[in-house]
Amino acid sequence: MRSSSESQTTKFSCIEKERKNDKGKDPILIKTCFIKNFKFVSTSYPDNAGRYAYSEQEVYILKNNKYIKTTNSKVFNKDQDQLVATINKRILEDFNKFSTDSSTKECLAEIDSIPTYKMDDFEISFEGNEIWFEVHWGLSWACAGVDGTIVSFKLDEIKKYLN
């Protein structure tokens, strides 16, 4: 697909479905997104209060008309290290902001440092015209609002890293 400026635009599409939940009244949500020859499937389970967390994520590549399970790092090319470095820099900025903010620093007091993440450590999702790279730090529900962060990019910003 070409935009009016004749540059190549990267597109994705997503489908959301609900599945009956035998453990409660709130349904299980399944979001499937397609970009190039990749498929991302996020399955979100509700807790007893109806809050959702994407707790399972799988990535597939289309080969011979079949989707085969793969990893995040296979979605991106050999230059992905630059992208991962940028994501890690922004994650650290968010962590430092949360750990020094008077309203959130108590939640992060137990965490001395965060790891340097690799591409396969991220939960990847698609929202609007953006790709999101998400990490969690394992905090309690009381601190859910700062239990990790999302680093987002417009798709056109990262298309040079896609396979």
- Nearest Cα neighbor of 57 from 69, 73, 44, 41 is 41
pLDDT tens per residue, range 129-152: 899 999 999 898 788 888 999 999
Every domain of the chain and the residues it spans: 12-161
CA distances in angstroms from 8 to 54, 76, 78, 141, listed in the order given: 31, 17, 20, 42
Q: What is the pLDDT of residue 77?
A: 97
pLDDT tens per residue, range 44-57: 988 877 788 657 89
pTM, entire model = 0.85
Q: What is the pLDDT of residue 7?
A: 42
